[in-house]
Structure 1
């Protein structure tokens, strides 16, 4: 298995992205690692590699043959373009996926392996993980939900099902929150979010003076929102932080497989709600928002919680979720040129989302 003239390299909207793929020694070592683990699973690389380079990951589709079972990848898009080779086979060729994360999200492989033990019905099981180098080799997961949406009619009920399943998985992961942190997943617990806000604001080099001043004035309200959200009594757990239709597979109607944990944090679970609901509203219109909220909140009922209280918590978490998105843009491959910190502009844009009212009110 090697890089040759048939290798397809996709840089998307980031032609100048700095990744380790540019280093020949790194490519050779990574592909040797993949080949070794394929052999261990009774597989071998066959055909042209497809490489997807972004500031936050290197993703390689590896066509395979052999007696093993290769069952798509970890590494989805932040932009609307689809991944190459989204089906389990392309022209009859099965595939596995290699993903390399930057140091700040090197936890993704170990987290994926742990999730496969804790909630196996909801996630992919990695074929191999190298925690120190931030590498993972993953089986194919079938069709992305985005592919299904483009291919066949799927109503809002499909999104309700995925939100309900995802919320149940989060609920089941509550007892593992501390173990998830020990894997290196960033802690952004509800009561600590004001400190996360302070760090992001102080460390962002591209905010304009007036923008920075507006955010500084917002700080007391951020603290109040966090205190109120914590008082709702819902424990912190795993927050995917970027759960859109390109970050999950739909192996069967009403069933979903979640992946791509590079933006994850241990935080308030409801912070996960914003991204999928916004995507669904973009597709069907804002009138579907109430039923999507109800579907997600259903697994959190009980324990004396009221529907109004859960909606208020969702309203607060919707706004505070901007902090998780802002933080995730700092998990990039280092830029050796010493230029502007990668992701700083995107992180600033998310910080400014704290100033925007959520599209629903609890009352």
Structure 2
């Protein structure tokens, strides 16, 4: 525990990155962020009332403020992200307007600086599972809710681009693949050659995906039980959109693996062939879609059952 610049007690969690430097380590930038958060809290009648909890990672700064004056005196959260993910703040505001039943509405946003102040979203789905209060049906409900949200966002695809959300439609993926390959200096010559040899297959898969005809929408790109709240049975809200690209075609979430707490024992009977989350979303009611068939025919080296998943 340490004292912040304003003498407020704070606990700092650096996890496995004790040497990582973040803007929070710069006194001037930390004071600027605290001033902003304090002013935005005050605008909502919220005053800080306890110890801060600061979580520092190379990809984000997250601060939990204990507050008084709000609904149930639940905490509020400040988040800052690096420039590459700065679109997340503006995206949070846009999603609150477009799909308010599926996300948290921010208390305040500074889209230019990538700052956001959010209310507490209630228990994580992971916490619900840890307490033994969740089932596989809940996970299917979450994916169904996610698919409903994706469909609702289809009319806003171009607005997502305007917010700076990266675009990764199927026909754009070969170009993104080429860029990543060219900029990666850690690959050995053998690894680079192996990836280059896979490019024709990637182009074929992307063309097949594009031909499916599913409209472009938003994908979370890291959807798991720690990235959604379950404030009440049957209700889910999604958050942490910093890794989101736009995507077209059957959603990557269609391959999401259930949380470990919900995975069946290896000896348990296997479910019917098909994708449970696609069934939940009603996207695959005519059988296994082409993209899944293609992936099943040609798994990548080292792949195997269940390798098609987000995260």
TM-score, length-scaled by structure 2: 0.88
Quick one: distance in 2 between partners of 1:99 and 1:117? 20
| Residues 219-238 of structure 1: CA deviation (Å, up to 9, x unaligned) | 11000000011111111210
Quick one: distance in 1 between partners of 2:119 and 2:270? 34
Quick one: distance in 2 between partners of 1:171 and 1:62? 34
Equivalent residue in structure 2 for 1:30, among 33, 40, 61: 33
Deviation at 1:316, TM superposition (A): 5.5
Residue 218 of structure 2: SS of its match in structure 1?
strand
| Residues 66-124 of structure 1: CA deviation (Å, up to 9, x unaligned) | 2x337xxxxxxxxxxxxxxxxxxxxxx62100000100000101111111111111000
Quick one: distance in 2 between partners of 1:45 and 1:291? 52
1:142 is matched with: 122
Quick one: distance in 2 between partners of 1:152 and 1:281? 9
Residue 307 of structure 1: SS of its match in structure 2?
coil
The question of whether the paired residues in 2 share the 8 Å contact of 1:105 and 1:263 is answered with yes
Quick one: distance in 2 between partners of 1:273 and 1:281? 19
Quick one: distance in 1 between partners of 2:230 and 2:124? 6
The question of whether the paired residues in 1 share the 8 Å contact of 2:109 and 2:115 is answered with yes
Deviation at 1:15, TM superposition (A): 1.3
Higher helix share: 1
Where do 1:38-117 residues align within 5 Å? 38-66=41-69, 68-69=70-71, 94-117=74-97
The question of whether the paired residues in 2 share the 8 Å contact of 1:271 and 1:318 is answered with no
Residue 50 of structure 1: SS of its match in structure 2?
strand
1:313 is matched with: 291
**Superposition RMSD in Å:** 2.7
Deviation at 1:2, TM superposition (A): 4.6
1:294 is matched with: 276
Quick one: distance in 2 between partners of 1:174 and 1:316? 25
2:242 is matched with: 262
Structure 1: runs of 5 or more not aligned: 71-92, 320-352
Quick one: distance in 2 between partners of 1:140 and 1:3? 23
1:168 is matched with: 148
Where do 1:128-277 residues align within 5 Å? 128-268=108-248, 270-274=251-255, 276-277=256-257
Deviation at 1:253, TM superposition (A): 1.5
Aligned residues: 301
The question of whether the paired residues in 1 share the 8 Å contact of 2:140 and 2:277 is answered with yes
User: Quick one: higher RCO (CA 8 Å, sep 6+), 1 or 2?
Assistant: 1
TM-score, length-scaled by structure 1: 0.76
